[in-house]
A and B are shown apart, each in its own frame.
Chain A
Amino acid sequence: MTTLPVNEKLPADVTLSPDELLREAMALDTTWRDKPGVWGWLSAVDHKTTAKRYIITAFLMFIAGGIEAALMRLQLARPENNLIGPDRYNQLFTTHGTTMMFLFAVPIMTAMGLYFVPLMIGARSIAFPRLNAFGFWNYFVGVVFLYVSLFANTGPDTGWFAYVPLSGPAYSPGHRVDVWAQVVTFTEIAALCGAVNIIATVFKMRAPGMSLNRIPLFVWAQLVVAFMIVFAMPAVATGSTLMLATDRAVNMHWFNPAEGGDALLWQHIFWFFGHPEVYIIFLPAVGMVTPIIETFCRRQVFGYTAIVMANITTAFFAFGLWVHHMFATPIPELGQSLFTAASMVIAIPTGLQIFCWIATMWAGRPRLTVPMLFVLGFLFTFINGGITGVMLASVAFDKQAHDTFFVVAHLHYVLIGGGLMPLFGAFYYWFPKITGRLLKESWGKLHFWLFLIGTNVTFFPMHVLGLNGMPRRIYTYLAPTGWGPLNLLATAGALTIALSVLIFVVNAAKSWFGGELAKENPWEAAGLEWATASPPPPYNFIHTPLVRSRHPLWEPTVELPVVVGLRSDRREILVTTTFDARPDSRHNSPDGSIWPLYTALSMGLVFIGSIFSPYFVLGGLGVSLVGLLGWAWQSTQPSGVERVALPDGPIVERV
């Protein structure tokens, strides 16, 4: 048994010559790099490769969802417009919602975590790289399936919430709703794969010394969200994959009141997932805001513990709000008031975080770079959405505003303000780390201002439209309603957003292939992800860093302390204890494998085939079993976990 020398060695003590370092790096590179060629590409398991695929696919989904939105806005630009008929319109708004929620927002937030969590905690890789690749391929099958269906005029058309009985077998014959139910299944699996990966990685693979109270706030947010996914996704899995699909395929009558089923049950199940979903998008974005503020204000964030607690509280309350989507249903008033109170309480942790960020800016010296501008845009836009959210917590007011354009305005303020603005900020902030090149600031500023203006011009008038009686999900309206002018304004705003996103895409494409080269740490930030090359090598770090504070790169020491002793001739990771992150054992990390792709495709066969015949489930499961066996077979070698001998007493000094 080899023991890992865990006594911390400052670089001054490590007597590695540059030559030795180079040899070590080359050995690690050979060990960890995904294999070349098409086969290697399909078998890749590097968490950064998988995450990049996720990010790019999800961003393409954002563009697709955006095009759908633009088409809807064009149809609504004037009363009694004939651009798009009701059948196509219903497919468009359903696909827009499904795409933005299931195929863009949740996956891209998870993907940012899958890329950065291992880097931020100083790990070589993610806990289950093959499961990660499997999750991505599952998601990818779902993406292809939805869009092939849409172009085949079989796009789902009952809303991203698919309320029964409209989505049931009696009122939605054909396969449109089946497509929706199975796309949701794919994304559930992908999200769960990502979530368990992040939980295991954060709990067991942190660099020595990164005790729970030193985890970067982005990682905390990802951890909290991973737990939310674990609790929320099974609800929608039960609702859509099990109940709705079997209602449709084999007449189970779960939701059919004529046979003793209950139509309202679906809404409870869906929103028990659907409301936490919003926070599954929002919390990672919040996690992106903190490092951006810290870096560009050059000050550690105010209220670290308070923010962690706020995240956890938000996650907890997120599961107690779902009925506020159902205030117009015949649910007793007393029960509803509980959900009113809960919906207001959740504003407190969110408000607390906003105050902490403002305090951090106050104590620091803000530099208005593009990521910072997006953070300000986030505050400006999100607070608006948050305040309308508190208004909608009122049962009395919600009954007026529910299912109108007021809610459309509210949810876009929340999701664009609270999700997309921080995400764009994060793109500018971490683009140099992912690609090794900087995005152009001047283009970024243009992008920001057009996006901010476009968002407000599009969505602000919708508040008024909603209160003037315009319901959601209508493909047309008559001129006497008077909704024409504000709708035209909203359409102009939507086109402004489209232009701003186009500017971003061009900027990203140009910068990726010819932008200014980025250094290791171009922003002089504090997190461990900046302690390695840009882009990071396949093994992330030559030596595992040793962490002594929440801001390892802002320590007064000249260089980052590291621990040595992990093998470089095979994929080996350091497992640490959950609370204090003391070295515990060494574990093998699997090589690339084609089996995750194979298994994802065969599962795709199961789910897509089940739409047409239940027998596909049986046959498909047999085919999938081959994949799982192959996967397990390949994982068995080389085997083993080696315990690491621990020195007496804690090795980690506390700050």
Chain B
Amino acid sequence: MSEITLLFAGPMGAGKTTAIRAISQIEPINTEVANTDFSESGKAETTVALDYGELSLDNGHTLRLYGSPGQRRFEFMWPLLAEGALGVVVLLDNSRPDPLADLRLFLDAFARQIGAGRVVVAVGRLDSHPQPSLDDYAEAVAARGEFLPVLAADVRRRDDVTALLDVLFDQIEAQAAAADAAGDDDEWLQLVRRARSQ
């Protein structure tokens, strides 16, 4: 196994296309078209099928980076893109009208990945829109009986995006340790351990 798939999900305008562009080592493939619904976002264009980028790791493995469309009408794409993904980065935009509702929507959508401990939540535009705070997000996650890393991120910055992936891999490594203790043997987790050790 030499390829790992990661998915960037979240509502329209949260920065999924931007995050992939920030770290991809190939020119990203995208499916952006004219945005005709400014009630959803003021963006001129919006992704309607997927984004795709690639990032090579030092150990020769390739990270395949997928981005999903954000509007709820495209939710049929979310499980398709999450299928086989090692982990999911849920990007949220704190300037949207109800970002905690966005959080709940996407946590529901990726419940399976959350159950496997393979989701990290990143909140953008906290500088200009400080409420809700990261603590509010953490409380909302905890209220669901879940524990997920919740971080602030400016996905225009490559370092912020790679930091998110580091946290995601840490999370997955922690799952690996737990799986080891349970005598479980997961090929994906072994792959991440090897990738992280180099």
Q: Do A and B bind each other?
A: no
Interface residues of A (CB under 8 A from B): none
Interface residues of B (CB under 8 A from A): none
